Amino acid sequence: MSKLKLATVWLDGCSGCHMSLLDLDEGILAVAEKADLVYGPLVDATEFPEDVDVTLVEGAVSSQEDLKRVQMIRSRTRVLVALGDCAVTSNVPSMRNSIPVGRMLQRIYIEGVDTAPGVPSDGVPVLLAQARPLHDFVAVDAHLPGCPPPPAAILAVLSDLLAGKKPSAAAVKFG
Amino acid sequence: MPQKRSIRIDGELVQVARGETILDAARAAGRTIPTLCHFDGLRNSGACRLCIVEVSGSNRLLPACTTPAEDGMAVTTSSPKLTAYRRMTIELLLAERNHLCSVCVSNGHCELQALATSIGVTSVRFRYRYPALPVDQSHERYVLDHNRCVLCSRCVRVCAELEGAHVWDFMSRGIQLRVVSDLDQPWAEALACTNCGKCVQACPTGALVEKGRAVEEMAKRCSQVAQVAMKRGAPR
Amino acid sequence: MSRMEDISTFNAVREAGLAKLLPDVPRVTVGMGTCGRGNGAEGVYHALAEANDRAGGLLASVGCFGPCSEEPLVGVWIPGSPLVILRRVQQGDAERILADALDGRIPPDLAWCKVEEWDHLTAQIKYGHGYPELPSWHEVPFFAGQKKIVLRNCGFIDPEDIEEYVAVGGYQALYKVLIDNQPACVIEQIKAARLRGRGGAGFSTGIKWDYLAKATADAKYIICNADEGDPGAYMNRNEIESDPHSLLEGMIIGGFVMGASLGIIYVRAEYPVAVHRLTHAIEQAREYGLLGDNVLGRGFHFDIEMVEGAGAFVCGEETALIASLEGLAGRPRPRPPFPAQRGLWGRPTNINNVETWCNIAPIVVKGAGWFTQTGSAKSAGTKVFSLVGKVQNTGLVEMPLGTPIKTFVYDIGGGGAGGKSIKSVQTGGPSGGCIPQEMFDTPVDYETLAQLGSIMGSGGMVVMDEDNCMVDVARYFVEFTHSESCGKCVPCRVGLDQALDILNSFTEGTGSLAQLELLGELGRMVRDTSLCGLGQTAPNPVLTTMRHFRHEFEDHILGRRCNAGVCTQLALSPCENSCPLHMNVPRYLQLLKEGRMEDAFISVLLDNPLPASTGRVCQHPCEDRCRRQTVDEAVNMREVHRFIADSVLGSEQWGPVMDRIQARKLASTGQRIAITGAGPAGLTAAFYLALLGHDVTVFESRQEPGGMLRYALPEYRLPKAVLAREIEGIRCVGMRFECGKKVGADLGLDEIEGQFDAVFLSIGTWQEAAAPVAGAELKGVRAAVPFLETIARGEPVALGRRVAVIGGGNAAIDSARTAVRLGAETTVVYRRERKDMPAIAEETAEAEREGVRFLFLAAPHRIVGDPRGNVKGLEIMKTRLGEFDKSGRQKPVATGEITRFDCDSVILAVGESVDLEFGRLSGLGLSPSGTIVADRFTLETSRSNVFAGGDVVSGASNVTKAMAYGKRAARSMDRRLTGSDRFPALLEAFEYDQTPPPPAAGGPRRRGHERPVSVRVRGSEEVVEGLTTADAIEEAARCLRCDVRA
């Protein structure tokens, strides 16, 4: 049996969830036996492959670019997992949500700096009005909250998914 | 009228005293019914609806905290329907305000967070409202953060019923409902406040906290408030 | 003034009242409730008062008699004669009303009905007999079946005069109760009467009274809940405004039998007239010895206070109401303890609704047995409803409980206003549910309504018709309860907020089916877990509309359409929304106005591939919704696109324009599509599918394409040459026609399926419906469509001298007018009335001008033949209109009266249906009526890659609707074949002016020139010539540009 394809994605988050993933320690061996990591910040691939079995998404959807990416990723993924509070609840990125984007940028980049005030525009993705959880934009197959989710919980969910099972609702806390 | 009543909690026969509620009976039977607005020693308000149970013979779901245990009652404390409704209640609360556990001083010591975990809420199907809410830091020792408030009224009741100060109450209605001190004055200017801190200890979330606490540092001492209540013989 | 302390003082007051009620001069009364005042009753009263100063009659203001749509009402009583109710009285009528009254006459133009005697239940008043020409009140449909118990005095007595109340037997019940001094017996009587709380919950009043009577405490209270806050409900307001003493008497009796010392009336502050009259009534009651220390001299101490509410809907909930009375915020608390155990200020308390209290005195006087004669087994007595919304007659009606909904809507309400069909009734205010038209047989009582997911509530009854969007209705009511939620419990506070959010997403076109499911789950959770009645019932409008009108939710979610045109964010403009093809009407009008004929044509053609044909024969639903009607008349949109099409088709511009259309054609997909049936649906699908780059073959059983357009529409409506040019245009986009090949007979569906990637079935409905009349087999009896087809082929038909056409649809009118052109004397026989005809109204009017005779309310009974089997005449059964059917029209009922007339031919135009043989052979899923079943949105049939649309799916319909199926099928088939929605790529973006014109731009509506009748009946020329260029441009300028939004 060929190995499953596993991908990870990093949207608006702190990469803490990826750190937690790395913290699987020897648990990673069990994962590696079943799956190849084909895309993500931890590997070199530049293009998201066409048919991925499981994708773990860290981070909230905050910008137009994030939105395009999750839509593309959803269309190429069989099982999509929201990994960590930012992907599940939008968490810290959502702290800006009650402030209009224009006013926020004004406050930070113009009023908040002494030198060269100005809102950056080149090469910076356009922000959405609010940073929102993954499932507000695409169908999500499993949610794994936590900030970050504990390695054991990640391993449990991955093990279930790689065994072709629906992940059992682990007792994972938000935060 | 017999002083003791016999009721069945999930099939188990329990004896309770007159005036005790289904919640009391369930606890006596060692059953856990999730609660949020209930606080030992305070009058029940029946606001959070988490403690709803099924009672045979009633076509309605009844709140365990305010429904007196009647002789011969048969109560079911857990069912797929109850779990689904409780789960939805938690989801509604999480979506209502800005409950950011990861940066909350009560992280790890929060009743709402613990309920979400125990009921198995791993995501919220409703739109997060992300309201813009103020934080009252005027008091020298305490903070009121409306972003974390679940409107359980435990602070209101503990202040009115135990401390006798009635600093806290609600203003507005519906989704605009908000806790206020005195007549919507900054806390520091609430003349009735005795700085006793019972409200802070009674608060289930990070809405009322002590100043100077960092993330995860704020653990509430609910039992101390309950002891005061017991000593004063507070009403149910 | 005199205190009533014994029987003689009581009788004195009664005599004084009677002298005012039945004086020896004429008495003129004006209905001065809030509703009457709103319609100008105060002006009428003052005018009457001025006139009366000279005339010397007796003028009084009374309460409301119920029929709001007929206000202001004036009652005129001349001693010895019946009381006459005048309706819609204006100030200017005052002089002559009084002058006539003093002469013993009644103004006949204002008179509505008469009351010869009135049963106040506690007394009978005999006014007199006379006016045989006037109907008695209960013969007026609005009152038929009404039984006035609660409203027994409303509209007859002066609510500000206690003496008039006593004159009609008021306070007799109280006197009896005090004299008898048997409180327990009274409670037993109320129990036996099976009176149930009229505030909505329907709890037994007697049992509730018993609780309080048995409670022991230092003080007990009774409360009247008059905090009526439902939108559209005003029963309690009217009851207080018209008859406040009836409420007071009920409360004093209640106070005595339950042992309470104080009664409190919690009344809505937004009811100033009610507050004023109640205050006055309480003062009068004190003066007359009915309240205070020694009630009626019987030593009973009782008083009533009135408290004005603070405007919160939730204060109608009893525990919130009590909190509000105590000076706290109006938030409910959990029960138990119930108010009867611990209520106001911790004392045992009884709360009843105004209407419940008003029922007490009649029960005491007439007995429980009398009361239970009215109503249903579990719900005795009557209930007052405010019947509002889309019915002709609105107002307050009091009906026995258990009366079916249809009686309210059709008999009392008079059916839909403006002939629209009614789709639902919402009972019980914002927390009630919507009951669909199919369930109008439902009796209105507590249990049955609850089973349907609705509630009795306080008695609001809002009727909704086809112009109401049920999704918006649900959204509206949730918006109300959401803003009125006190916020205490989580499900109501946050759940309703989330429900509103989801509903908004539907009305804005951003919702999903997953959200619809979540909304259902949320609704059930809020219903089952909320603390008080507000939250427990708030989801009812959502849950019932989801249950009974799920298709409307699907239209919003899947189709992004609101057919009622209410959700404006889902439509460009009202015309676009109502057009089956969703033509961008404002755009082509504007392009024409800007003189851009080619652009206008392309705009039209890409929306509607047959603009010249539809420009002549469309039913133009766009005009029914046109906002210009609020200024003068609808924009003549149909004639403008006909003009645009006629101007370009066949002209020099045609070639270059078609080149531009061709240029929009997408690259070839290599997919082969078969279309069976080259009627409007098939041609439309072919046009778009060809543009989308597919290889299209159209099979047609007849010799030429066009379907009904070619073979059923007469030349005078749609010239064959015009149609041929349009089909030529469609054909040049690139498709193959195979005419003379009938699917099923010449060509099996399996065969086609094998050769093509997808199939669209659009074979139409050519089968004549079974003739419902005896003698249909005679020579000279024809079906309409074959008759029209024969004419269309240019073949001769011998009709004879006199022709009868049976039916009321377009085929009937087309047949009749064709028969006229063949020189026949023609009569159309239709079983309903003219207003009920499905045919286009203009066509009917023209037919009449051309000499067609119409017999309405006439159904064919038998076609009479001569011995050789030829038609000789037609026997006709006269009909009358009976009950309303699902279409909102009254069903014709045979009267038994048969007439006969001679004729030589009969044309049956009673409808067409699908060729059942084909349906059976195709193996496709079929409906009971034989139409092919296809998904509402994708038009997929039960066979994969076979799609169907047009009449074969909908049953016989019209050209534009059939084309709309073709358009939708093309989009859906393309999506299926290519996996993406490429349809929008076909459309062209035009830049055009986006400033709305001044409101009255363009002047009056322009019409095409009509050929004189004498000319047109001799040939088959078109009846209406197209607009001139100048007229068309000016007509286009009349558009108000609803598509432009700020």
Contacts of C603 (CB under 8 A, 6+ apart): C584, C587, C588, C591, C988, C990
Q: What is the mean pLDDT of chain C?
A: 93
Task: Name the β-bridge partners of C862.
Answer: C774, C875
Adjacency order of strands within the sheet including C74-77: C58-62, C27-31, C74-77, C83-86, C111-115
- B124/A89 CB distance under 8 A: yes
Q: Under DSSP, is residue C189 helix (H, G, I), strand (E, B) or coil?
A: helix
Q: Hey, what CATH topology would domain B98-232 get?
A: Alpha-Beta Plaits (3.30.70)
For residue B97, the model assigns a pLDDT of 97
Parallel, antiparallel or unpaired: strands C395-400 and C382-389: antiparallel
Provide the strand spans (E) within C682-799.
695-700, 736-739, 758-761, 767-768, 781-783
CA C413, CA C393: separation in Å to the nearest integer? 5
Smallest CA–CA distance, residue A154 to chain B, in Å, is 13
The pTM is what?
Answer: 0.93
Task: Provide the residue range defining the domain that includes A156.
Answer: 4-97+127-162
Contact check, Cβ <8 Å, B128/A88: no
The answer to whether the CB of C241 falls within 8 A of the CB of C274 is yes
- Mutual angle of helices C810-821 and C841-849, in 10-degree steps: 20
pLDDT of residue C917: 75
Cβ of C488 and B93 within 8 Å?
no
Nearest to B177 among C487, C495, C518 (CB): C487
Residue C73 and residue C115 in contact, taking contact as beta carbons nearer than 8 Å: no
For testing contact with chain C, the best of B59, B92, B123, B183 (most C CBs within 10 A): B92
Closest chain B residue to the Cα of C525, Cα to Cα: B85
Question: Rounded to whole angstroms, how far apart are CA atoms C138 and C121?
Answer: 16
At B235 the pLDDT is 54
The minimal CB distance from B102 to the residues A82, A144, A147 is found for A147
Chain A residue closest to B107 (CA)? A175
Which of A92, A94, A144 shows the shortest C-beta gap to B128? A94
- Residue C768 clears pLDDT 80, i.e. is over it: no
Q: What percent of chain C has a predicted confidence (pLDDT) above 70?
A: 99
Give the pLDDT confidence score for residue C847 in this predicted structure: 95
Say if residues C304 and C265 touch (Cβ distance below 8 Å): yes
The three-class DSSP label of residue C274 is helix
Query: Structural domain tally of chain A?
Result: 1
ipTM of the complex: 0.97
CA nearest to C750, candidates C1014, C945, C480: C945
Residue C123's pLDDT band (boundaries 50, 70, 90)?
very high
The tokens of C32 are what?
Answer: 């001065």
C769: which residues sit within 8 A by CB, 6+ positions away? C910, C911, C912, C913
pLDDT in tens, C71-109: 999 999 999 999 999 999 999 999 999 989 888 889 999
* Nearest-CB residue to B89 (from C482, C491, C501): C491
Cβ–Cβ contact A8 with B under 8 A: no
Whether the CB of C501 is below 8 Å from some CB of chain B: the reply is yes
Q: Does A134 touch chain B (CB under 8 A)?
A: no
B123/A82 touch (CB, cutoff 8 Å), yes or no = yes
**What are chain C's domains?**
7-149 (3.40.30.10), 171-372 (3.40.50.11540), 378-468 (3.10.20.600), 469-570 (1.20.1440.230), 574-661+989-1036 (1.10.1060), 669-720+727-766+914-969 (3.50.50.60), 770-910 (3.50.50.60)
Q: Neighbouring chains of B at 3+ CB pairs within 8 Å?
A: A, C
The residue of chain B nearest to residue A170, with distances taken between CA atoms, is B120
pLDDT band at A1 (very low <50, low <70, confident <90, very high): low
pLDDT value of residue A153: 93
Chosen for mutation from C331, C510, C529, C534 (greatest number of chain B CBs closer than 10 Å) is C529
Residue B205: what pLDDT?
97
The residue in chain B having the minimum alpha-carbon distance to the alpha carbon of residue A87 is B123
A 10 A CB-CB count for C242 gives 28
Query: pLDDT digit string (tens) for C557-613?
Result: 999 999 999 999 999 999 999 999 999 999 999 999 999 999 999 999 999 999 999
Residue C55 in this model has a pLDDT that exceeds 80: no
Q: Which residue has the higher pLDDT, C419 or C259?
A: C259
Show residues of chain B in contact with C529, CB under 8 Å: 49, 52, 61, 85, 89
3-state secondary structure of C116: coil
- Residue A41 belongs to some domain of the structure: yes
pLDDT value of residue B234: 58
Confidence of residue C888 (pLDDT cuts 50, 70, 90): low
Instruction: Give how far A30 is from chain B: nearest CA, Å.
Output: 25
Determine the pLDDT at residue C641.
95
pLDDT at C279 over 70: yes
DSSP C598-667: HHHHHHHHHH-S-HHHHHHH---HHHHH-GGGGTSS---HHHHHHHHHHHHTTSTTHHHHHHHHHHTPPP
Lowest-confidence region among A158-172, C779-793, C1030-1044: A158-172
Instruction: Using CA coordinates, name the residue in chain A closest to B106.
Output: A175
Q: Are C563 and C966 contacting, i.e. CB atoms less than 8 angstroms apart?
A: no
Residue C837 CB neighbours (<10 A): 22
Cβ <8 Å between C497 and B129: yes
**CB-CB neighbors (< 8 A) of B96 in chain C:** 493-494, 497
Least confident of C426-440, C494-508, C903-917: C903-917
For B4-78, CATH gives 3.10.20.740
Nearest-Cα distance to chain B for A45, in Å, is 30
Burial class of residue C258 in the structure, from the number of CB atoms within 10 Å of its CB (0-12 exposed, 13-18 middle, 19+ buried)? buried
Domain assignment present for A77: yes
Report pLDDT for C1.
56
Bridge partners of A36?
A5
Tell me what the mean pLDDT of segment C214-229 comes to: 95
Residue A60 forms beta bridges with which residues? A12
Least confident of C4-18, C246-260, C811-825, C996-1010: C996-1010
Distance from CA of A109 to the nearest CA of B (A): 21
- Using a CB–CB cut-off of 8 Å, the residues of B that contact A are 94, 98-104, 107-108, 113-114, 116-118, 120, 122-125, 127-128, 130-133
User: Computed over its alpha carbons, how large is the radius of gyration of chain C?
Assistant: 34
Whether residue C431 has pLDDT greater than 90:
no
pLDDT of C240 above 90:
yes
Question: Letter for the amino acid at C689?
Answer: L
Q: Is C194 helix (H, G, I), strand (E, B) or coil?
A: coil
Q: How far is B163 from chain C (nearest CA, A)?
A: 20
Helix (H) or strand (E) holding C542: helix C540-548
By three-state DSSP, how is residue A66 classified? helix
pLDDT range class, residue C923, cuts 50, 70, 90: confident
Given an 8 Å threshold on Cβ–Cβ distance, is B116 in contact with A173?
Answer: yes
Q: A107 lies in a domain?
A: no
Element (H, E) at C275: helix C272-287
Summarize pLDDT for C363-372 with one digit per residue, the tens.
999 999 999 9
B76 interfacial to chain C (CB closer than 8 Å): no
Q: Per-10-residue mean pLDDT for chain B, 236 residues long?
A: 82 92 94 96 95 94 96 96 97 97 96 95 96 96 97 97 95 96 95 95 97 93 86 65
Pick from C334, C487, C528: which is nearest to B46 by CB? C334
Whether B101 and A147 lie within 8 Å, measured CB to CB: yes
Are C681 and C709 spatial neighbours (Cβ–Cβ below 8 Å)?
no
Q: What is the mean pLDDT of residues C247-251?
A: 98
Chain B residues with CB under 8 Å of C523 CB are: none
Q: What is the pLDDT of residue C998?
A: 85
Distance CA C130, CA B33 (A): 75
> Which residue does chain B place closest to A99, by CA atoms?
B132
Q: Where in chain B is the domain with CATH 3.10.20.740?
A: 4-78
Question: Residues C2-17: pLDDT tens digits?
Answer: 799 999 999 999 999 9
Region A71-85: what's the mean pLDDT? Answer: 96
Q: What is the pLDDT of residue C1021?
A: 87
Closest Cβ–Cβ partner in B98, B102, B128 for A85: B102
* C646 close to C640: Cβ distance less than 8 angstroms: no
Tokens representing residue C310 in the block: 């603070």
End-to-end, the C-alpha distance of chain C in Å comes to 64
pLDDT, tens digit (0-9, with 9 covering 90-100), for C666-703: 999 999 999 999 999 999 999 999 999 999 999 999 99
Amino acid (1-letter code) at residue C638: R
Chains that touch A (3 or more CB pairs under 8 A): B
**Residue A110 covered by a domain:** no
Where do you find CATH 3.30.70.20 in chain B? 98-232
Q: What is the DSSP string of B59-71?
A: SSEEETTTSBP-T
Find the residue in B nearest to C479 (Cα).
Answer: B174
Are the CB atoms for C237 and C34 separated by under 8 Å? yes
**B177/C498 touch (CB, cutoff 8 Å), yes or no:** no
Measured between CA atoms, how close is B130 to chain A, in angstroms?
6
> pLDDT tens across C30-41, in order?
999 999 999 999
C751 token code pair: 């065969």
Q: How far apart are CA B14 and CA B24, in angstroms?
A: 10
What CATH number does residue A61 fall under?
3.40.50.700
Q: Write down the residue that tokens 């006229």 correspond to.
A: C820
